[in-house]
Amino acid sequence: MSATSESIGRMIREARLARGWSQQRLADELGTVQSAVHRIENGQQNLSLSMINRLAEALDMPLIQTATQGNVNFEIQGPTRLSGGIDVRTSKNAAMAILCASLLNQGRTVLRGIARIEEVDRISEVLTSIGVRLTWIGDNDLEIVRPGTLTPETIDARAAKRTRSILMLLGPLMHEFEQFLLPYAGGCDLGARTVHPHMSALSKMGLTVEATEGNYHATVQPIEGVERSITLIERGDTVTENAVMAAARAPGVTVLRNASGNYMVQDLCFFLQELGVDIDGIGTTTLTVRGRDHLEADVEYHISEDPIEAMSLVTAGIVTRSGITVRRCPIEFLEVEFAVLDEMGQRLELSPEYRSRNGRTRLVDVTVVPSDLVAPLDKIHPMPFPGLNIDNLPFFAVICATATGQSVIYDWVYDNRAIHLKKLADLGANIQLMDAHRLLILGPTKWRAREIESPPALRPAVCLLLAAMAARGTTNLMDVYVINRGYEDLPQRLNKLGASINVFWGTPQNDA
């Protein structure tokens, strides 16, 4: 028998009432807010791994761990016609960088609007394990206070190995220790992902890293001189972030060339500016950072909206042929995507621009108008910013499967992502792998429902979820940890638009 989020919610409510606790009292015990408890009890909020453990402890209720044993799965009923509006939440990738950057600040950092996702939980577990105090002070607001001395030797290696973002501790930690160890980075299974560009950039700032027995051994030599010019060997996002964080506390001027101007890098730079770091060239490929030996400020920063979530939600409208409005889309990071959609015949209506709460990022509301799509004339491929975002490319596989004609998707970046997208064939797409990097898609597709294992990669997994919403019948998408790694309450939020997605643990109901 499998448990659903509704049945778990009822169990929690009964256990709370049996103790005579109010929702507020339980919220205090959990370190969250009353409205979150209300949603959990109504089955309207994703239960993260750490929340399940906290609930079991607070209510002395090991049963909840038993009931939620096994994987988290989605049961999707289709076909779906969506309507209404949905807000884009803030990005996983900026949250990762800024959480790591909070180590640079000896003062109090408050991050507003941070997404409550598994990936944030993993990096929070890592930060807590090295001595940082993290307190949720609202549904989505996190207070971070670091100790005078961090303790990397007590790092939670299990949590660290589940996220690639652990790499971004190198930049902040190199200013505090002559030697330290970090566990190897994890993340989605997208094939080999190099760490060499990080080592190459940071070596110019005095850091040497040797990889041995599951750990990176970092050794730091003081850097000489007050002017540095570093050309990154790849225009990668996290490598740029690591270099910027290293430069933020290196007195003097560091010029970074071939830097990424992507959304998470911009968000990180805006945050560092609040901390008093002087950065020029944000959004371009040359960043000039004037670092400071000591950074101490009480800062509050609003993380910006996620262009990848925006594209996911726009795709939800396109694949289900629904008229929905996706509010708060960061338009600077979606322009090429929308230009390609325009070529394919997709009508999108854009509102006038307004600013994100960080005062910097430009947002628009996007209304998806049901349209008849045709395959693009040329291949669709990603590029570093300002190209079509690498993480948005997978959504074009679903969109092309919806369009009439033959499309080619070319993912030169990742070895495995195209391979994972091939799974769309299980839901009825006519999709072939030409080689590990190229997909040939013949649309339009009559999507069909079925039980399917989620691939170990975030965006391809979301693509399957979106296609399942368009398919007639019931699709069980099994083991969706990767989706919860990057999206907050996605089933619940899509259900508000008219989708029918149930969350359940363990084996599917009809198999029990």
Of ligand UD1, ligand PEP, none, which one does residue 384 interact with (CB within 5 to 8 Å by kind)?
ligand UD1
The β-bridge relationship of strands 286-291 and 252-257 is: antiparallel
Q: How far apart are CA 425 and CA 464, in angstroms?
A: 10
**What's the min distance (Å) between Cβ of 42 and ligand PEP?**
29
How far apart are alpha carbons 205 and 225 in whole angstroms? 10
Helices (H) and strands (E) in the chain, counts: 19, 24
- Least separation in angstroms between residue 93's CB and ligand PEP is 6
Query: At closest approach, how far in Å is the CB of 193 from ligand PEP?
Result: 8
If binding is defined by CB under 6 A, does position 391 make contact with ligand UD1?
A: yes
CA–CA distance, 337 with 388 (Å, rounded to integer): 6
Interface with ligand UD1, residue 73, by CB under 6 A: no
Q: Which amino acid is at 133?
A: R
Using the rule CB under 6 A, give the single segment among 34-42, 170-178, 184-192, 348-356 that binds ligand PEP: 184-192
Nearer to ligand UD1, 291 or 486 (CB): 486
Site string for ligand UD1, 261-300 (x = CB under 6 A): ---x------------------------------------
Give me 112's structure tokens: 């507003």
The minimum distance between CB 332 and ligand PEP, in angstroms, equals: 18
193 binds ligand UD1 (CB under 6 A): yes
Regarding 291 and contact with ligand PEP (CB under 6 A), the answer is no
**Contact characters 349-388, ligand PEP, x per CB under 6 A:** ----------------------------------------
Cβ of residue 300: shortest distance to ligand UD1, in angstroms?
A: 22
In this structure, the dihedral spanned by the alpha carbons of residues 321, 326, 331 and 334, taken in order and rounded to 10 degrees, is -40
How crowded is residue 53: how many other Cβ atoms within 10 Å of its Cβ? 13
Q: Is 170 in the site for ligand UD1 (CB under 6 A)?
A: no
User: At residue 181, what is the residue type?
Assistant: L
Decide which of ligand UD1, ligand PEP, none touches 176; Cβ closer than 5 to 8 Å per partner kind.
none
From 17-25, 31-39, 52-60, 183-191, give the range in contact with ligand PEP by CB under 6 A. Answer: 183-191
Q: Interacting stretch for ligand PEP, rule CB under 6 A, among 39-47, 187-195, 380-388, 403-411?
A: 187-195
Give the pair of three-digit tokens for residue 401.
């499967």
Cis peptide before 79 (omega within 30 of 0): yes
CA distances from 328 to 170, 223, 364, 396, 491 (A): 33, 43, 5, 21, 19
416 binds, among ligand PEP, ligand UD1, none (CB under 5 to 8 A by kind): none
Between β-strands 252-257 and 215-220, what pairing exists: parallel, antiparallel or unpaired?
Answer: unpaired
Using the minimum distance from each CB to ligand UD1, give the nearer residue, 205 or 308.
308
CA distance 325 to 320: 13
Nearest to 411 by CA among 457, 452, 447: 457
Residue 20 makes CB contacts below 8 A (sequence gap 6+) with none
Whose tokens are 């760490």? That residue is: 195
Shortest reach from residue 236's CB to ligand UD1, in Å = 4
232 binds, among ligand UD1, ligand PEP, none (CB under 5 to 8 A by kind): none
Residue 237's binding partner, choosing from ligand PEP, ligand UD1, none, with beta-carbon cut-off 5 to 8 A by kind?
Answer: ligand UD1
Tokens of 388: 């079509």
Handedness of CA 129, 130, 133, 134 (dihedral sign): negative
Helix axes 458-470, 393-402, angle to 10 degrees: 20
Q: How far is CA 202 from CA 21, 220, 279, 292, 294, in A?
A: 51, 10, 18, 17, 19
Contacts (CB under 6 A) with ligand PEP, residues 123-142: none
Shortest distance (Å) from residue 128 CB to ligand PEP = 20
Q: Report 205-234 residues binding ligand UD1 (CB under 6 A).
A: 234
Residues 6+ apart with CB under 8 A from 348: 314, 338, 341, 342, 366, 367, 368, 369
115 contact choice in ligand PEP, ligand UD1, none (CB below 5 to 8 Å, kind-dependent)? none
36 within 8 A of 492, measured Cβ to Cβ:
no
Minimum distance of ligand UD1 from residue 131's CB (angstroms) = 23
**Does the footprint of ligand UD1 cover residue 161 (CB under 6 A)?**
no
Which residue in the set 458, 466, 478, 501 belongs to the binding site for ligand PEP (CB under 6 A)? Answer: 458
Q: Does 236 bind ligand UD1 (CB under 6 A)?
A: yes
Torsion of CA 189, 195, 197, 203, to 10 degrees: 160
* Residues found near ligand UD1 in the complex (CB under 6 A): 93, 96, 164-165, 193-194, 234-239, 264, 384, 390-391, 413
* Residues found near ligand PEP in the complex (CB under 6 A): 164, 187-188, 190, 391, 458-459, 486
